[in-house]
Amino acid sequence: MNLDNINYNNFYYLNKYYYIIIIMLDLYNNEYDRQTLKNNIYDVKLIDILKTQKLDVTFIIRYILNNLYQLTNEDKKINVDLVLKFQPHITKYNLMKTLNEYDSDDDSVQDFETVSINSTGDSNKM
């Protein structure tokens, strides 16, 4: 591994042997695949994902419009009209049809508590 190009601002000191690398998604300058967005869903604002990334209808229904992931007041204001504004490739008909057919049991949704416990490794923090 070449350590010359590492941005040490993204490291968090854990102890004398380990560092945690904090990866910040730069949504406004990069496009990310669906899995990367899903893996970082609690680390970024949904409105920023909506504004900057080209999303498919399923991702929008499962994550962007899902109140389990809407952690900020700004994210809680996301509605169908905002989705259509920032995702012009999606039709209202297709969005509404998919929304009506959506079954949340199809998802393997992890709640924020589970994600935060797994990332810190400490179940006593919650």
Name which residue leads in pLDDT, 8 or 52.
52
pLDDT tens for 62-104 read 999 998 899 999 999 999 999 999 999 999 999 999 999 887 6
Res 18: pLDDT: 47
Among 115, 80, 113, residue whose Cα is nearest residue 95: 80
Eight-class DSSP state of 64: I
pLDDT at 106: 57
41 Cβ contact list (under 8 Å, min separation 6): 63, 69
Question: How high is the pLDDT of residue 34?
Answer: 92
pLDDT at 111: 58
Indicate the pLDDT class of residue 3, thresholds 50, 70 and 90: very low
Distance CA 97, CA 42 (A): 27
**Mean per-residue pLDDT, 39-52:** 91
Predicted confidence at residue 116, as pLDDT, reads 53
Closest by CA to 63, choosing from 78, 85, 84, 82, is 78
Supply the mean pLDDT for the chain. Answer: 77
pLDDT over 80 (residue 121)? no
